């Protein structure tokens, strides 16, 4: 897997990481500095990128958790690259993903907590997250709640089964409530 770090102070991506899982190494180094991860005693609220809307809601929730707990926020985005492509050449532009993560972090009200973002180019999203997260991590995932399992809800269930504390934030709930209210008053009022 390849990892790029976003520093909230200078908004530059730095660092790369080697994947011991399948032996792939990122050949290009973005910057010679390495980003420090959280220490062993530091409390971190991990936010998993799913989609822009769900992640924005998850970041808001993580922000209130981080303020209450005195923790930092770590936004983790694992973008899978198909096996037919080299790991350094994903289908989605790295610059686009960097800009998206940067915009999400910039839109967060950062009073009293530190925020970092990491973009991982990998082969398998779930395996990468399992390697990244420390045991019993606090994880916030935003996504749509359906009657069938969505990618975000399957990811939340898999992380829970591995012992992580997962908070699932359903996006679009207000929309559905408003639609239900409109349906109940719509046909009868005509």
At 5-48, the pLDDT tens digits run: 654 443 433 333 333 233 232 322 222 223 445 555 589 999 99
Q: Given this model, what pLDDT does residue 124 score?
A: 93
Residue 103 or 13, more confident: 103
Q: Distances from the Cα of 63 to the Cαs of 29, 112, 128, 149, 168, in angstroms?
A: 31, 9, 24, 26, 14
For residue 52, pLDDT beyond 50: yes
**Token pair of 22, please?**
């399948």
Q: Which of 121, 88, 106 is nearest to 7 (CA)?
A: 106
**Buried b / exposed e across 112-151, counting CB within 10 Å, b at 16+?**
ebebbbbbbbbbebbbbbebbbeeebbbbbbbbeeeeebe
Share of the chain above pLDDT 90, in %: 47
Residue 179 or 58, more confident: 58
Q: Given this model, what pLDDT does residue 145 score?
A: 80
β-pair partners for 3: 120
Among 75-79, 114-118, 129-133, 180-184, the minimum mean pLDDT is found in 180-184
* CATH number belonging to domain 2-25+42-189: 3.40.50.620
How much is the pTM?
A: 0.72
Domain layout of the chain by residue ranges: 2-25+42-189
């Amino acid at each position: 897997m390849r990892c790029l770090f976003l520093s909230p102070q200078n908004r530059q991506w730095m660092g790369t990481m080697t994947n011991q899982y399948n032996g792939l190494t990122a050949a290009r180094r973005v910057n010679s500095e390495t980003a420090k991860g959280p220490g062993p005693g530091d409390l971190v609220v991990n936010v998993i990128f799913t989609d822009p809307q769900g992640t924005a809601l998850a970041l808001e929730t993580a922000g209130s958790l981080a303020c209450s707990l005195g923790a930092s926020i770590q936004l983790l985005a694992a973008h899978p690259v198909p096996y037919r492509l080299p790991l350094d050449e994903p289908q989605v532009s790295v610059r686009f993903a960097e800009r998206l993560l940067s915009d999400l972090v910039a839109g967060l009200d950062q009073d009293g907590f530190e925020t970092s973002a990491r973009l991982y180019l990998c082969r398998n999203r779930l395996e990468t997250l399992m390697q990244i997260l420390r045991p019993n991590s606090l994880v916030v995932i935003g996504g749509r709640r359906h009657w069938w399992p969505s990618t975000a809800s399957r990811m939340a269930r898999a992380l829970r089964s591995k012992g992580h504390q997962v908070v699932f934030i359903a996006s679009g709930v207000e929309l559905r409530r408003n639609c239900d209210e409109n349906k109940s008053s719509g046909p009868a009022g005509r």
